[in-house]
Chain A
Amino acid sequence: MKDNRLVFYEDDIQEIDKVLEKFIAASQASCVLLVDLEGHLVTKKGFTDKLDTTSISALIAGSFASTRAVAQKLGEAEFSVLFHQGVNENIHISLVADRALIVIIFDDRTTIGMVRMYAEQVSEGLKSILESISERKNEGRETLSSDYANEAESQIDNFFEEG
């Protein structure tokens, strides 16, 4: 159980954000989220102010996991792209490097063809970033501060104080 953490450093996210920013400008999508397979948001770009990105991330990861299980029942490794079409908004979801989901929300300002095309590019870009993150050693980089656990303990005490 040593292998139980997914760490993202600031410069990693900066690099990822750059790719996503370019994607937004090129594709005209309203926003893009990068979500890990457990449903935690990694980063987001575009117009997301009014979106409940926490819940959306969790639900999309659930939906992807469920679809993947269905794929396996059909002898597919996975359906690597999911697409949901609505009247006003559409969602395009794709798996990248087997560890994160690119979630693109877009409307009639652009087309599914454009989104799909740029999504493939973005996916390649992110794939190499994510892979280099996972292959790299992180000695000497930022870690949680040593009083994290102690501070958390007192925070937990406060939080769960019944009143």
Chain B
Amino acid sequence: MVQINFALREVNCKIVYYGPGRSGKTTNLEIVHAKAPKDSRGEMVSIATETDRTLFFDFLPLNLGTVAGMKTKFQLYTVPGQVYYDATRKLVLQGADGVIFVADSQKSMREENIESLDNLAKNLAENGINISEIPLILQWNKRDLEDVDTPEYLNEYLNRYNSPSFEAVAVKGDGVFPTLKSLASLVIKQINNAQNLESTDVQPKLQKKEVLPSPEKVDGEKNIAKTETSTSMPPISSINKSKVEEKSNAEKLASEKPPIEKVEAGKTKNENTEVSSVTKIENPREPQPNIPVVEKDGQPKSKKIKSEETTIKTKSVSPKKALNPIAAELEKKKAEREEQEKQRTERIKKNARRPAGTTDWKKIIILAGLFVVILAAILAAIYFTKN
């Protein structure tokens, strides 16, 4: 489901790479990560097994740039391919806006390809998506191998919905971008179509949860009733009632609790200026063509609330303006928090584990060095005892 956020001025789309195990989905993402301009992509996150097989998903955020005043972002996911992980695959597919099906072109993989495509249709349906309606691109990967089917034959046996298809050698990077490019345009077109539909149609409900028709269709009306209740939340109010007492106690506790203040000396203005400069980069004052409001100093008037960084920054620059008690509170704790942020950054660095499957050369060199020294010592000892 596309998220259009007029406050962050962002359009977010979810793209999923699907296909049988080892067809090259993770490789596709790695290539996109390597080829995309650095400032437009985030870290690639892989939830993989020890042996580098995808366990849950790979994730790569891509920032296409600002389009008509909206930052347009694609979030790329891959699914684990093995049959065993079907439940996981279905989860990753939730809310997908487009799918790239990566097929292994080898003749020996025909069955796996078909099985995976059937599985895609099934899992989309279970997520309330019709495979013939979602933007779908097919990729014939591993064209470099010997015993592969022709693209014509692959189209014949796998292209059921008349989707665009691309040949690829993902390991070499061939065909990876054209595939994604084609899907990206399909997804964008879909957004625009939905938009045009909307202007004539009644506004669609926000994320109405799709519920599959229940198997017993005896009583139609009952079914509808059931569906409706199952979409709504469990009654929170009833849960809360039982907790009222506990709550009021806790509230007392909260008001009695003295504010914890760890004094962190040495936080100077320098840091504030540093933060503001970072903030500037993070909040470029882009023109906001969609807001019909006069802009002053390039700052749209109607954007009272930008991201909170901006708010805090402004307040730290002119503390007299911080009349709001909440803002004052925040202000007071800022230095302290910054110190903690620093510590956190250090922890993140320290904990940053090397990606699975890569070699820890530092360790190896140190061990090898140690080994050589010990060997030399032993040889020397033998030499001296013999003489």
Contacts and interface: CB of A to CB of B under 8 A. Distances in A.
A155 B177 contact: no
B153 to A, nearest CB: 27
A109 B1 contact: no
A47 B341 CA distance: 8
A109 B181 contact: no
Given A13-B305, A49-B278, A40 B12 contact: yes
Interface in B328-348: 329-330, 337-338, 340-341, 343-345, 347
B112 to A, nearest CB: 24
A39 B75 contact: yes
Contact of B40 (A2, A153, A157, A159): A159
A74 interface: no
Contacts of B233: 97-98, 127
A8 B177 contact: no
Interface string B99-137: 000000000000000000000000000000110011000
Contacts of B130: 1
Contacts of A147: 68
A47 B312 CA distance: 10
Interface in B185-215: 185, 188-192, 194-195, 197-199, 201-210
B379 interface: no
- Main secondary structure on chain A at its contact with chain B? mixed
A36 B3 contact: yes
B337 A8 contact: no
A122 interface: no
A3 B188 contact: no
Contacts of B49: none
A134 B207 CA distance: 8
Given A69-B87, A99-B206, A156-B185, A120 B240 contact: yes
Contact of A5 (B1, B232, B289, B340): B1
Contacts of A49: 275, 278-279, 309, 341
A1 B129 contact: yes
B45 A50 contact: no
Nearest to A66: B91
Q: Which of A43, A45, A144 has the most CB of B within 10 A?
A: A144
Given A2-B197, A151-B67, A14 B5 contact: no
A85 interface: no
A84 to B, nearest CB: 15
A104 to B, nearest CB: 15
A114 B250 contact: yes
Nearest to A97: B233
A89 B344 contact: yes
A109 B260 contact: yes
A33 to B, nearest CB: 11
- Main secondary structure on chain B at its contact with chain A? mixed
Given A3-B204, A4-B2, A144 B192 contact: yes
B302 interface: yes
Given A2-B197, A42-B5, A148-B191, A66 B68 contact: no
A6 B47 CA distance: 27
Contact of A77 (B192, B197, B234): B234
Interface in A14-63: 14, 17, 21-22, 24-26, 28, 30, 36-50, 52, 54-55, 58-59, 62
B1 A160 contact: no
B364 interface: no
Interface of B: 1-8, 11-12, 14, 35-37, 40, 42-43, 45, 47, 56-57, 59, 61, 64-65, 67-70, 72, 75, 87-88, 91-92, 94-95, 97, 129-130, 133-134, 177-178, 180-181, 184-185, 188-192, 194-195, 197-199, 201-210, 231-234, 236, 240, 243, 247, 250-251, 253-254, 257, 260, 262, 275, 278-279, 289-291, 302-305, 307-309, 325-326, 329-330, 337-338, 340-341, 343-345, 347
Interface of A: 1-10, 12-14, 17, 21-22, 24-26, 28, 30, 36-50, 52, 54-55, 58-59, 62, 65-66, 69, 77, 80, 88-89, 97-99, 107, 109-110, 113-114, 117, 120, 123-124, 127, 130, 133-139, 142-145, 147-149, 151-153, 155-160, 162
23 contacts: A6-B4, A8-B6, A8-B7, A9-B6, A10-B303, A12-B7, A13-B8, A17-B308, A24-B330, A36-B1, A37-B207, A38-B94, A59-B45, A66-B91, A98-B233, A114-B253, A117-B254, A127-B236, A136-B203, A142-B290, A144-B4, A145-B289, A153-B188
7 nearest A-B residue pairs (beta carbon): A13-B7, A134-B206, A38-B95, A149-B192, A160-B181, A40-B12, A145-B68
